[in-house]
Amino acid sequence: MSSFFGHCLVIERDIFFLENLLKEVDSTDETFLVTKTLADAFNILKRPQSRIKAIYVSLSFGGPDVTQFIIKAQEMGDIPVCVLVHQERLRLSEGELQRLGAKDQVVCPEGRDALLAQLKKLFPERHNWAKISVSPEEKGTSLDLLDQDFMPIGTDAFLLTDKCFFNVFLRIGENRFLKILNAGDPFDSDFAEKYTAKKVSNLWVKKNEHHQYMHLTEKNAASGLARLAPDAGKRIAHLGDNVAKALGRVGLGEDNLLYADRFLGHTVSYLRQIRTKDGGAQKLFEDLARAEHPAAVSVIAGLLAQELGFESTKAIKIIGLAALLHDVAIYQKRAKFPLELVEDLTGEDLELFHTHAADGVKILTDMGIFEEAVIQAVAQHHQKHSIQAGRATTLISEIVAASDLFCHFVLNSPEPRLEFFLNRKLADYRPQIGDAFEAILKRKSRSAS
């Protein structure tokens, strides 16, 4: 969970539990908001952007007060409420819980882990592979289905497993599909290669099955990190691909933002893992070379932020999120957008390029759930640093902008122009941006020369 997905509100005054909890929950914690009074809790709930997803309220406030609090909280929305019971003898019966209006109780909790365990009960994994079954469409026949019900998945993604856990389609025209796999079918050894050879870059799955696919790639990335697997970077890039596609083509829904947050968390963990490894950055560039543009920019921005001294997970995730969403207005209007440089764009592509920063700001502002730093970076990611011109950009904005340019001029360019990027393009930004890239690339920094 994060600020753009939601928080859990904890209202507690039991001194012993509170001390333990506050040792584990600091200002950087993105899951729990802790308050010591019911009045403060109400003030938080009244905020339109509070995004409270669950409430824990302590019985130490007394039964009548807790009852009144739960009644008022439920008037504000359908938010599950759990009570915290600090003595076994005060454990509530099912009938007492129902009369209180509480969803459940946590008895004798010792700290944050007990609350997290209860969260898993409140919000069980919604994306379970077992729920996918063979859909009614016949394989090998042309079908009239709606484009809006489908989600494209990169063909090479099907190399990850030897068994298909979802129904797979080939799009053969507008609202026309051919079913090529049933859920549960085995893959041929050359399944992905066969379609890649035919220049089929995407296969299609139904959107209601897409969350299961996202869950698989997220678990795959987490597994690679946990085992320090040599292909962990590739797994994270693959997860970033699918997150970027989902945000651009399905939308900024709660589920997609949750997976974006998980992708950003895995990115931070991986960047810390490679920080001291020789050649770690070069391997990362290789993993990102074929990634979706927003995903690649996001990971590069995290790498650059780390080099510039951003240490907290929250700060790096904010920067990564801004990078992930910097072109959100483009991808909400166009599934594919030319990656050419602006001077090579014409017509509608050029017009969309010129308006996408402002349009992106409107999209994110209207949602009312994003950090101001994210919105500002989207607004400024094509602006140059120019205090004299009266439009000084923020450091976060410049990190996103420079990472975007690195992907265009170096990472994804058929003819990488590293020297031009370092010596000409970065001259428009703060000197420390260029120095950080020099350090990442293991070159002598310009400020030291």
pLDDT tens for each residue of 79-117: 899 999 999 999 999 999 999 999 999 999 988 889 988
Whole-structure pTM value: 0.79
The conformational region for residue 30 under phi > 0 = left, psi -120 to 50 = alpha, else beta, is: alpha
140 compared with 31, residue with greater pLDDT: 140
**In the chain, where the domains are located:** 7-122, 128-206, 228-448
Residue 236 has pLDDT above 90, yes or no: yes
Task: Assess whether the region 7-122 and the region 228-448 belong to the same CATH fold.
Answer: no
Contacts of 311 (CB under 8 A, 6+ apart): none
Looking at residue 49, its pLDDT comes to 59
Residues β-bridged to residue 35: 11
pLDDT band at 290 (very low <50, low <70, confident <90, very high): confident
Q: Is residue 359 packed enough to be buried (19+ CB in 10 Å), middle (13-18) or exposed (0-12)? A: middle
Residue 55 has pLDDT above 80, yes or no: yes
Q: Does pLDDT of 298 surpass 70?
A: yes
pLDDT in tens, 164-210: 878 999 999 999 999 999 988 887 777 877 888 888 888 899 988 88
Mean pLDDT, rounded, for 270-282:
85
- The CATH code for residues 228-448 is 1.10.3210.10
Query: What is the per-residue pLDDT across 328-366, written as a single tens digit (0 to 9) for each?
Result: 988 877 666 655 566 677 787 788 888 889 999 999 999
The average pLDDT across 313-332 equals: 92
Query: 7-122: CATH homologous superfamily?
Result: Response regulator (3.40.50.2300)
- Between β-strands 81-85 and 104-107, what pairing exists: parallel, antiparallel or unpaired? parallel
